[in-house]
Amino acid sequence: MKKAILFFYFVILAYMPTLAQQALSGGQNIQSPEVHPNNTVTFRLFAPSANKVEVTGDFLPTQKVQTPRGEYDAPGIGLLTKNEQGVWEFTTPQPLLPELYGYNFTVDGLRMMDPNNVYMIRDIATVTNIFIIGGGRADLYKVNDVPHGTVVKQWYDSPTLKMKRRLTVYTPPGYESGKDNYPVFYLLHGAGGDEESWSDLGRATQILDNLIAQGKAKPMIVVMTNGNVSQKAAPGQSERGMYKPSFMGDTRMDGEFEAAFPDVINFIESHYRTLKTKSNRAIAGLSMGGFHSFHISKEYPDMFDYIGLFSAAIMPRQDVKSKVYENSDEKLKILFSKKPKLYWIAIGTADFLIQANNDLRKKLDENKYPYLYYETGEGHIWKNWRIYLTEFAPMLFK
């Protein structure tokens, strides 16, 4: 009798992984998303009791949505169909171009993640599943078989802001085992972001690994800061706890972050093997980070030789008063008198900030301040900012 019980027990143990998988997937080994050889993609969801399932993602054509505040572009929607096994499916009608894409399901009006895709990212308070269609520039966003740098989340002291704060630091392959000193690229996020944005959403570490391996970018240290001066760290990473992130709740564009930026540089140059000269420092950022880069670079004209504005906000609100924003034209004149090696502006043709960037370019042209301009299609989106990073990084420290 005991032998029979033991035999039954071991049989159950042997089948438990299979039973668990079937319970989770409704008896199916569901693959979602499935990228086909022709780059069409199929999405699947086991939901036998659902009445309607949709997929929303940036791989679908946008749709016009009318609101009381006007018309705007919203992500497209694909309608899934249910088969006899209760699995809903949708296949893109056209092959997708190489890119990193995000998506979600909506089941009977409820937004949800794809339970068969463990790969996801957070953008402010929204979490989306992701997948990559390889090829071309998108191969830079993948983890490839190349030497890898090291990424650390590190706390530093900011005497100006009177707090300990957190940042992300990328050191290039070979840093730990070598003795060389490296140039430093300070890479800033946009409103609602934090010190994790560029490494997660921007794929900055993969991009740097791949560009360095291809010999297209010099090995460099990349510092990704938190530009929200009232935050010590990204949501959930400080004693403030697990609060819901908001777009502008913790964001300040009032001169405090710019005034405190030397604290970041002092920490990096005292804790890492860096080349401590203007020609070996770069700064760039997207949106609010571009705004910060614009004002930091002219507030400290001897600090950076390479400046990048990615879809940048330019001037502060009229109700904001700060010494950092005073005498802007005179500070810009001093900055260009120092002859920075690269002043780079990039923006999409549909970006809501394009007029502000055109106004800045007009001012630069009128004063014969040299700069390079890079224009893409579409608007204020991570797709463009990843492109800008792949274009900007190879121009640094030449």
The yes-or-no verdict on residue 342 having pLDDT over 60 is yes
Residue range 303-340, pLDDT digits in tens: 999 999 999 999 998 888 899 999 999 999 999 999 99
At 73, the pLDDT band (50, 70, 90 cuts) reads: low
pLDDT at 319: 85
Enumerate the CATH 3.40.50.1820 domain ranges in the chain, comma separated: 141-395
Let me know the angle formed at the C-alpha of 379 by 374 and 384, rounded to the nearest 5 degrees: 55
pLDDT at 233: 72
- Could you give the CA distance from residue 248 to residue 253 in angstroms, rounded to a whole number? 10
Q: Are 271 and 223 in contact (CB under 8 A)?
A: no
Of the chain, the end-to-end C-alpha distance in Å amounts to: 79
pLDDT at 327: 95
Q: What is the mean pLDDT of residues 21-45?
A: 80
Residue for token pair 């499916």: 89
Residue range 263-312, pLDDT digits in tens: 999 999 999 999 999 999 999 999 999 999 999 999 999 999 999 999 99
The yes-or-no verdict on residue 238 having pLDDT over 80 is no
Structure tokens at 70: 């006007």
Residue range 104-160, pLDDT digits in tens: 999 999 999 999 999 988 887 688 999 999 999 999 999 999 999 999 999 999 999
SS3 content of the chain, % helix, strand, coil (to 5): 30, 30, 45
- 293-327 in b/e form (b: 16+ CB < 10 A) is bbbbbbbbbebbbbbbbbbbbbebeeeeeeebbee
pLDDT at 268: 98
pLDDT at 250: 54
Enumerate the CATH 2.60.40.10 domain ranges in the chain, comma separated: 24-134
The yes-or-no verdict on residue 25 having pLDDT over 60 is no
Q: What is the CATH number of domain 24-134?
A: 2.60.40.10
What is the chain's mean pLDDT, rounded? 90
Residue 273 C-alpha from the chain's centroid: 26
Of residues 70 and 333, the one with the higher pLDDT is 333
- 207-233 in b/e form (b: 16+ CB < 10 A) is bbbbbbeeeebbbbbbbbbbbbbebbb
Q: What is the mean pLDDT of residues 239-247?
A: 73
**pTM (predicted TM-score):** 0.89
Superfamily of domain 141-395: Alpha/Beta hydrolase fold, catalytic domain (3.40.50.1820)
pLDDT at 77: 93
Q: Of the spans 61-65, 192-196, 211-215, which averages the highest pLDDT? A: 211-215
